[in-house]
Amino acid sequence: MRRLRSIGAFWYDFVVGDDWRVAVVVVAVLALTALLVHAAGVNAWWLVPPCVLAALGWSLHRAVRRS
Amino acid sequence: MSALPLVLTVFVACAVEAVEALTIVLAAGLTREWRSTFQGMAAALAVLAVIVAALGPAITLLPLTALRLVVGALLAIFGLQWLRKAVLRASGHKSLHDEASAYLREVAAAKAATAESRGRVHDWYAFTLSFKGVLLEGLEVIFIVITFGANQHNVGAAAIGAAAAVVVVAVTGIAVRAPLARVPENALKFAVGVMLTSFGMFWGAEGAGVSWPGGDAALLVLVPAVALVALGYTALLRRPAGPAPVPAPESQEVPSS
């Protein structure tokens, strides 16, 4: 059990890293994009880049405030 | 995307990882002993080969849309990690990654560790140090090769880029027998973070069903836009001149990237 937990922690650290909020934003914005494309028929190519870059800015702001 | 940009992107990303693995292997080999170091390296390469053999064919069986959505999301998250650290380093909020000091830290730890023999491994410390270093950096190489290669249906070209990077770094390391401190690692990491994030957003959105204006040519706008925003964040966050607080040390971060 402990080994499984440490394997999970390793992969979490490997992919998600220091700020899980960034990962949540990426997943949420891709889900919203898929919803807009498939449910509303909107070609929402403009949604992902500003949201992802804003998430980066937010994460950086939090990191700098902490340091 | 043609094969050349794919090979070059993977080459640069993997070269950064190979430089970090080389530092660890050199610290273990020169301070402890080479035989156990090579055993650790060989064991790590065997584990990596098993992972590639299992993951490579499995991932290419996924439908392209699902593959792009999942891999794009993972790549964007992974790339944002790199970019976040690169901006924090460039703006003075985190210490710059320095192979020379990383090497000295590893050497000091290796000298302090006691020698222990296990089975056919004469020096267990050298074995595990080398094994962990090569495995961790190798996993990042595999991640980049598989995500880029699978998305472009050209895992072969991505693998060539990665193999070339590993060979170039290994040959240079053998020639100079020292960590490659002159490689502009922090600038390369910034560039790789920009590329991973841009490609992740591009493929992730495509996987979600988006048609980018201009198709693949949208990357020619997306990559510079991400770079400009990241540089803008760096300028905004740059510490003013004067006595600066001590930046967060290297040890507080994820092992590589």
Q: Flag whether residue B138 sits within 8 Å of chain A, measured between CB atoms.
A: no
- In sequence order, the β-bridge partners of residue B121 are B118
Q: Which three-class secondary structure string do you get for B121-168? A: ECCHHHHHHHHHHHHHHHHHHHHHHHHHHHHCCCHHHHHHHHHHHHHH
3-state SS class at B55:
helix
Evaluate whether residue B169 is within a structural domain: yes
Range from B106-120, B139-153, B184-198 carrying the lowest mean pLDDT: B106-120
Evaluate whether residue B155 is within a structural domain: yes
- Is A30's CB within 8 Å of B207's CB? yes
Contacts of B238 (CB under 8 A, 6+ apart): B90, B91, B92
Q: Flag whether residue B76 sits within 8 Å of chain A, measured between CB atoms.
A: yes
Predicted confidence (pLDDT) at residue B206 exceeds the cutoff of 60: yes
Q: Flag whether residue B81 sits within 8 Å of chain A, measured between CB atoms.
A: yes
To the nearest 10 degrees (0 to 180), the angle between helices A48-66 and B185-207 is 140
Task: Note the pLDDT tens digit of each residue in B35-72.
Answer: 999 999 999 999 988 888 887 777 777 787 888 898 89
3-state SS class at B112:
helix
**For residue B7, what pLDDT band results from cuts at 50, 70 and 90?**
confident
* Domain housing B120: 3-239
- Is B254's CB within 8 Å of A13's CB? yes
Evaluate whether residue B227 is within a structural domain: yes
Number of folded domains that form chain B: 1
Evaluate whether residue B253 is within a structural domain: no
ipTM: 0.91
Residue pair B151/B65 in contact (Cβ under 8 Å)? The answer is no
Q: Within 10 Å of residue B150's Cβ, how many Cβ atoms?
A: 21
Per-residue pLDDT in tens (0 to 9) along chain A, 67 residues: 777 888 788 778 877 888 899 999 999 999 999 999 999 999 999 999 999 999 999 999 999 988 7
Interface probe for A, chosen from B81, B141, B221 (most Cβ of A below 10 Å), is B81
Interface probe for B, chosen from A20, A60, A61, A65 (most Cβ of B below 10 Å), is A60
3-state SS class at B97:
coil
Take residue B59 and report the two structure tokens written for it.
């991932």
Q: Which residue of A has its CA nearest to B233?
A: A57
Q: What are phi and psi of A26, to 5 degrees?
A: -60, -50
Residue pair B32/B183 in contact (Cβ under 8 Å)? The answer is no
Cα(B58)–Cα(A17) distance, integer angstroms: 25
Evaluate whether residue B232 is within a structural domain: yes
HSE-up (13 A, CA, CB side) for residue A64: 21
Alpha-carbon distance B210 to nearest alpha carbon in chain A (angstroms): 6
Taking CB atoms and an 8 Å cutoff, what residues of chain A touch B76?
Answer: 26, 52
Interface probe for A, chosen from B70, B80, B146, B251 (most Cβ of A below 10 Å), is B80
Average pLDDT over all residues of chain B: 83
DSSP annotation of B94 reads: B
Q: What are phi and psi of B78, to 5 degrees?
A: -65, -45
Evaluate whether residue B63 is within a structural domain: yes
Q: Flag whether residue A52 sits within 8 Å of chain B, measured between CB atoms.
A: yes
**Higher-confidence position of A52 and B115:** A52
pLDDT at A36: 96
Taking CB atoms and an 8 Å cutoff, what residues of chain A touch B78?
Answer: 15, 17
pLDDT at B253: 42
pTM of the entire structure?
A: 0.77
Element (H, E) at B77: helix B64-90
Average pLDDT over residues B230-248: 74
Query: CA-CA distances (angstroms) from residue B46 to B52, B62, B74, B134, B187?
Result: 10, 25, 25, 11, 31
pLDDT above 70 covers a percentage of chain B that reads: 89
Q: Which of B83, B208, B225 sits opposite A30 (nearest CB)?
A: B208
Across the A:B interface, residue pairs with CB atoms under 8 Å apart total: 107
**For residue B248, what pLDDT band results from cuts at 50, 70 and 90?**
low
Query: CA-CA distances (angstroms) from residue B105 to B63, B95, B112, B193?
Result: 46, 14, 11, 26
- Is B69's CB within 8 Å of A15's CB? no
Predicted confidence (pLDDT) at residue B246 exceeds the cutoff of 60: no
